[in-house]
Amino acid sequence: MKSPEKSAFETILIIAVVLAIVMLPLAARAESGAMHQPPSFSEFDANGDGFISEEEFNAFRAQRMAAKAAAGKPMKGAKSMPDFQDIDTNGDGKLTEAELVAAQQAHQAKMRAAHGGQGMGHGMGHGMGMKLPGFSDLDTNGDGCIDAEEFAAHQAKYHPQN
């Protein structure tokens, strides 16, 4: 016969294992979603002076692009990202937080528009409030199956660079 303490421990252990299994995919999704967020002002401002110099901007961007490439997740919108001079709207040679945030928001809007409102990068939206396609969106002939042609048409429409 089991003691009540042992039964309680086993029950708690089972609950903990089940919770861990359930939470693992959520944690992975949260981590991958963080990769799609624009960097904060303080991440760019290496010396903490409240402004971003062109050197800080270029160094951080190069470091971030290299880290993403090394992780197998290159930045798909890198070619269309604005240069320092484009973001420095007052031309004083340094970026304020307002200038950086405005540029990031404009770039995100441009990327969403370029991808048919489907978000940026992998997975069309990743927690950005974007509607993911349903089965019926891909099953264009309504036969209950997604064949290679239907899948290829969807990929061509929403992921033309792949």
Whole-prediction pTM: 0.51
Q: Which residue has the tokens 């290159």?
A: 74
Bridge partners of 95, per DSSP, are 52
Going along the chain from its start, the domains and CATH numbers come out as: 38-129 (1.10.238.10), 132-162 (no CATH)
Mean pLDDT of the 73-98 span: 88
The enclosing H or E element of 70 equals helix 54-70
Bridge partners of 53, per DSSP, are 94
Q: What is the pLDDT of residues 105-123, one digit of tens each?
A: 888 888 778 776 654 444 4
Judged against a pLDDT cut of 60, whether residue 100 lies above it is answered with yes
- How far is 103 from 57, CA to CA, in rounded Å? 13
Judged against a pLDDT cut of 50, whether residue 127 lies above it is answered with no
Encoded tokens for 40: 């904060």
Q: What is the pLDDT of residues 45-56, one digit of tens each?
A: 999 999 999 999
pLDDT (0 to 100) of residue 46:
93
pLDDT (0 to 100) of residue 36:
62
CB–CB of 76/161 below 8 Å?
A: yes
Q: Which residue type sits at 161?
A: Q
CA torsion, ordered 38, 104, 72, 57, to nearest 10 deg = -90
